Amino acid sequence: DIQMTQSPSSLSASVGDRVTITCRASQSISSYLNWYQQKPGKAPKVLIYAAPSLQSGVPSRFSGSGSGTDFTLTISSLQPEDFATYYCQQSYSTPWTFGQGTKVEIK
Amino acid sequence: QVQLVQSGAEVKKPGASVKVSCKASGYTFISYAMHWVRQAPGQRLEWMGWINVGNGDTKYSQKFQGRVTITRETSASTVYMELSSLRSEDTAAYYCARVSWVAVPGTRHYWVDPWGQGTLVTVSS
């Protein structure tokens, strides 16, 4: 199975900050990488698919980059509604696997 | 709009089975595969398997092979996930999620969205 490792596991940031979350795959996954946002008690929702592609309806302050084994999710200017947990997920091969999550908290 | 509505919370004893339903609406049911993902308390998301809703073919994570069965009832636009031989470690929220994809030269990229609201399954003696 492909292991997905995110860093950091949690971070504290202020509204307006630029936030970067990284995700590393245990082997090359090309650009088969998706990012999800999950708020407490809710189902995840997709933000980014196929590494850099923004899901329709998702604010443009979210962006994704990377290919191979190293990927990044960036929030250019953190908003109050962005405080949540973020997961990367590889769809290169089954079983699909997720990172352990990065919790973004209010500083 | 696309909507997935799951069945309600369940409490089961160790060794029992649970069957969770996921009713789809707002799109052509047989045209999209459905995946199941679970999340134990405080843990990462864990992919369980998927079903080709059009022909019923399934693929399961090796971790759950032999214990999980995903089926569909096309007349009811509903997918089911049954997990047997439950143990305490199976206590989790279980989600159905519809596949989406984009075609690029030579391949397709897949992800899941939207998701159902989740069904909490508690396994306790």
pLDDT tens digit sequence for A59-98: 999 999 999 999 999 999 999 999 999 999 999 999 999 9
pLDDT above 90: percentage of residues in chain A: 97
Predicted pLDDT at B99: 97
pLDDT above 70: percentage of residues in chain B: 100
Q: Which residues of A touch B63 (CB under 8 A)?
A: 95
Using CB atoms, pick whichever of B47, B113, B116 lies closest to residue A55: B113
CB contacts < 8 Å between A and B, how many?
A: 57
What is the average pLDDT across A29-49?
Answer: 97
Mean pLDDT of chain A: 97
Q: Which residues of B touch A94 (CB under 8 A)?
A: 47, 59, 61
The C-alpha angle B9, B49, B52, rounded to 5 degrees, equals 105
Using CB atoms, pick whichever of B44, B110, B116 lies closest to residue A91: B110
Q: pLDDT of B34-44, one tens digit each?
A: 999 999 999 99
Tokens in use for A73?
Answer: 């999710």
Predicted pLDDT at B72: 98
Using CB atoms, pick whichever of A31, A46, A96 lies closest to residue B113: A46
Using CB atoms, pick whichever of B63, B111, B117 lies closest to residue A91: B111
Contact yes or no for A89 and B116 at CB 8 A:
no
Q: Which one, of A63, A84, A81, A82, lies nearest residue A73 by Cα?
A: A63
What is the average pLDDT across B56-76?
Answer: 97
Examine the pLDDT at B104 and tell me if it is beyond 90. Answer: no
Q: Which one, of B114, B101, B97, B111, lies nearest residue B38 by Cα?
A: B97
Position B47 confidence tier, pLDDT thresholds 50, 70, 90: very high
Structure-derived torsion over alpha carbons of residues A76, A82, A85, A87, reported in degrees to the nearest 10: -50
Q: Which one, of A45, A37, A41, A100, lies nearest residue B9 by Cα?
A: A41
Position B65 confidence tier, pLDDT thresholds 50, 70, 90: confident
Contact yes or no for A45 and B59 at CB 8 A:
no
Q: pLDDT of B114-125, one tens digit each?
A: 999 999 999 999
Q: Which residue of A has its CA nearest to B60?
A: A95
